[in-house]
Amino acid sequence: MNVVIIKYNAGNIQSVLFALERIGVNAIVTDDIATIQAADKIIFPGVGEASTAMKYLQEKNLIAVVKNASQPLLGICLGMQLLCSFSGENSTKCIGVFDEIVTLFKVNNTSIKVPQIGWNGIHNLQTPLFNNVPENAFCYFVHSYYVPLNTNAIATANYTLPYAAALQKDNFYGVQFHPEKSAAVGEQILKNFIELI
Q: How far apart are CA 88 and CA 103, in angstroms?
A: 6
Residues forming the active site: 77, 178, 180
* Residues 149, 158 contacting (CB under 8 angstroms): no
Kindly state the DSSP code that residue 176 receives in the 8-state scheme: S
The pLDDT tens digits of the residues spanning 128-175 come to: 999 999 999 999 999 999 999 999 999 999 999 999 999 999 999 999
Which among 43, 36, 52, 42 has a CA at the least distance from the CA of 12? 43
CA gap 172, 165 in Å, rounded: 14
Contact 15, 27 (CB under 8 A): no
Model confidence pTM above 0.95: yes
Residue 78 confidence (pLDDT): 96
46 backbone φψ class: left, alpha, beta (φ>0; ψ -120 to 50): left
CATH number, position 142 = 3.40.50.880
The pLDDT of residue 107: 84
Using CA atoms, how far apart are residues 165 and 174, in angstroms rounded to an integer?
A: 8
Query: With bands split at pLDDT 50, 70 and 90, how would you rate the model's confidence at 197?
Result: confident
- Looking at residue 54, its pLDDT comes to 95
Quote the number of domains for the chain.
Answer: 1
In order of 29, 126, 136, 173, 193, the CA distances from 7 in angstroms are 6, 29, 32, 18, 19
- Are 7 and 37 contacting, i.e. CB atoms less than 8 angstroms apart? no
Can you give the residue range of the structural domain that contains 12? Answer: 3-195
